[in-house]
Each structure stands twice: as C-alpha cells, then as structure tokens.
Amino acid sequence: MVNKHILPDRLKPGLKLVFCGTAAGRQSALQQAYYAHGQNKFWITLHNIGLTPHLFAPRDYEKLWELGIGLTDIAKHAYGMDHQLPKDALGGEAVAALKARILKARPHILAFTSFNGGRKVMGAKAAAGEQDETLGDTRVFILPSPSPLAANHWDIKPWRDLAKAVDALP
C-alpha cells in the first residue's frame, strides 16, 4: 500500500479553504479522485452546507479550485484506512511536510476531515470545530469524518460552522 503520491495536492496561494484527509482511501486511490467511496458524505455535505453550487462527483475534484477550495492529505505516499497505513505514514515527517505545504500555500482556513487527522497535527486533545491554534496565518478546523466507517461519529454542525466561516471571509 506504499506508493508515489497517491493523489495530487490541490494547493496554491490564495485559496479560501483547504480540506485535509489522513490518506486516500482504497476507492480514491483506484479512481484517482478525492473522497471517491460511494458512501462517503464529503461531496454531498459540501453541497448541503453551501460550499458548492451543485453536487460535484469525486472525479470533478479539480474544479474546486474555481471555488477557492483545495485538497490534500497528511499521508501522500500511502492509501487505505488509517489502521492499515504504514506506521510512519501519519508520523512526524508527514505532519511536518503537511505543515510546510500549508505554510507555503497560506489558505485562509485548513479543515481536517477527521478527528484522527486533526489530532495528528493539532494535538491529541483537539476537539471538533475551530481550533484556538493556527498554522501561520491559517485558521484550523477539525471536522467529523465523512467516511462511512465513521458514521457513528457523524455530526454536520462543525461542517456548517466551517461554511459560515468561509462565507465570512473577505
């Protein structure tokens, strides 16, 4: 399950928002598209909270740039469920590399799409919602995972709070 970059970073200066997952899932790796599992709530949630004007398909992920939204993962060289990843895939080196990419791109907001991912970067006690700590000038949110495996932790409220924060950006 170790490979070259599984999915390309969709980062550039000037983005309003960047979503960050832990690693591409198996379906995302196979389809070469972010959040590609058919039961993943990511794309429907983006539409339901008003971040996209219509429901995007996973293969349309590159079009998010037109809306000021980018995508990345902590683990860029491995795919699978978090517990299947090589030990170092979400380790200190991967976290430092993510921080460097975010500090370079300087999005207004970084949103982790799982508690596990957010806590790897922001600390073990980080909770859902906007964090007190920033990464440089970038505000940070931690969101409940849209993955079907995390359905028992699903709560759309932090996602709605994120959408309000994005709407309030200059």
Q: What is the pLDDT of residues 131-164, one digit of tens each?
A: 999 999 999 999 999 999 899 989 999 999 999 9
Q: What is the pLDDT of residues 69-103, one digit of tens each?
A: 999 999 999 999 999 999 899 999 999 999 999 99
Between CA 67 and CA 150 the distance in angstroms is: 27
In the numeric block, which tokens belong to residue 117? 């991912």
Burial 33-42 (b: 16+ CB within 10 A, else e): bbbbbeebbb
- In CATH terms, the superfamily for domain 17-167 is Uracil-DNA glycosylase-like domain (3.40.470.10)
In the numeric block, which tokens belong to residue 153? 């932790």
Domain ranges of the chain: 17-167
Q: What is the pLDDT of residues 29-80, one digit of tens each?
A: 999 999 999 999 999 999 999 999 999 999 999 999 999 999 999 999 999 9
Between CA 40 and CA 38 the distance in angstroms is: 6
Regarding pTM above 0.85, the answer is: yes
3-state class (DSSP) for residue 137? coil
Mean pLDDT to the nearest integer, 102-127: 97
Is residue 21 within 8 A of residue 79, CB to CB? The reply is no
> What is the average pLDDT value for the chain, to the nearest integer?
95
Task: Using only the alpha carbons of the chain, give its radius of gyration.
Answer: 14
Contacts of 103 by beta carbon, 8 Å cutoff, 6+ apart: 135, 136, 138
